[in-house]
Amino acid sequence: MAEDAAMQTGVREQDFLASIVLGEGLPEEVERLLHAAASSYDQDHLALKYLMEARLLAPTHPATLIGLYRFYFYKGRLRECLGIAEACLTRAAIDNSLPLDWRDVAPQDAAFGDFDAVAPRFFMFSLKGYAYLCMRLGHFEQSAAAIDKLLELDPADKIGAKVLLGVLERRGLEDVD
């Protein structure tokens, strides 16, 4: 149940991020390809073809990364999704002039407490997605480290990292009953 809540939170966050970053600097052809991918969602091969074409045209644009992330996530292709989450972290680090390794990011490196600051928020959501995927894939130490970093960067927990921490701490307990 807690895992479902964490997933729903992640869905809302990705919807928000997509609405913020989709249009900014996105070439028309890429936008068309992303819409075609969404329209072809039930045809995996075709949707992925459109997403890959979009990424070729705008390889580092958050919209293409988010499109691939969502596709892989909703299709249950979590290993591939994790690779995209890592690409999102790299993109967000570059956009925020942060260290490329998220472990080296410090609270003073960006306006992480300003929830209206889009670039730092994209970094935070990317790190949260990374933490969630690591947890789902059984990389619990990596997930815990990412969650700890989120709480360090966002002590007020506006990003909702404590929900993930709760899921991580309770893993396997539901099975005991």
Whether 165 maps to a domain, the answer reads: yes
Whether 113 maps to a domain, the answer reads: yes
Residue-level pLDDT, tens digit, the chain, 177 residues: 555 555 554 454 555 444 445 557 889 999 999 999 999 999 999 999 999 999 999 998 999 999 999 999 999 999 999 999 999 999 999 999 999 999 999 999 999 988 788 889 999 999 999 999 999 999 999 999 999 999 999 999 999 999 999 999 998 665 444
Report the SS3 class of residue 112: coil
Domain harbouring 123, CATH code: 1.25.40.10
What is the domain extent for residue 71?
Answer: 2-169
153 within 8 A of 112, measured Cβ to Cβ: yes
Give the pLDDT confidence score for residue 117 in this predicted structure: 84
Whether 174 maps to a domain, the answer reads: no
For the chain, how many structural domains are there in total? 1
> What pTM was computed for the model?
0.83
